Amino acid sequence: MIPLNVNARAVTVEAAPDTPLLWVLREHLGLTGTKYGCGVAACGACTVHLDGEAVRACSVPVGEVAGRPVTTIEGLPGGAENPLVRAWVAVQTPQCGYCQTGQIMQAATLLARSPRPSREEILEHMQGNLCRCATYNQVVDAIQHAAREA
């Protein structure tokens, strides 16, 4: 049994310590907003926050996160009223939407550190998150929109 702190809620899961956090979130806890993309931490679809930092849940063993705060898209402060979520809708960022939860979680760590990032800062911070639909310009627009609205 592994004790976790997910979205400010204490839970215990029965999983091998080397099980990727992604699968514990999705299969054990039913938090399916975190997506499987590549399984090798290269695409960003599985981005969550661990200790307030963006990490790829597909490559983090659940045994390493015992007791540490994990935040998924479902636990993002404000839910649908979060400035990033509202900006994503306002700018009409997603096409297929598959990667967008990871994009939002990655962007949230940027805005937490830099409330008014430049376009260059956004591009640098978001470079590890891939989008098959190529909505990169909309992602930048949405982050800038959220920064203005926050």
Please state the domain extents for the chain. 2-75, 79-149
Residue 112 tokens, joined:
């937490």
pLDDT of residue 79: 92
- C-beta separation of 93 from 135 below 8 A: yes
Beta bridge partners of 75: none
pLDDT at 150 over 90: no
pLDDT tier, 105 (very low <50, low <70, confident <90, very high otherwise): very high
The CATH number given to 79-149 is 1.10.150.120
Distances (CA, A) of 117 to 49, 79, 92, 98, 120: 19, 22, 20, 25, 8
Percent of the chain with pLDDT over 90: 96
Mean pLDDT over each residue of the chain, to the nearest integer? 96
Q: Using CA atoms, how far apart are residues 42 and 138, in angstroms rounded to an integer?
A: 21
The CATH number given to 2-75 is 3.10.20.30
Angle at 87 between CA 83 and CA 90, to 5 degrees: 140
pLDDT tens, 17-27? 999 999 999 99
Q: Which of 39, 72, 36, 27 is nearest to 54 (CA)?
A: 72
Distant-in-sequence, close-in-space partners of 131: CB < 8 Å, separation ≥ 6? 99, 103, 139
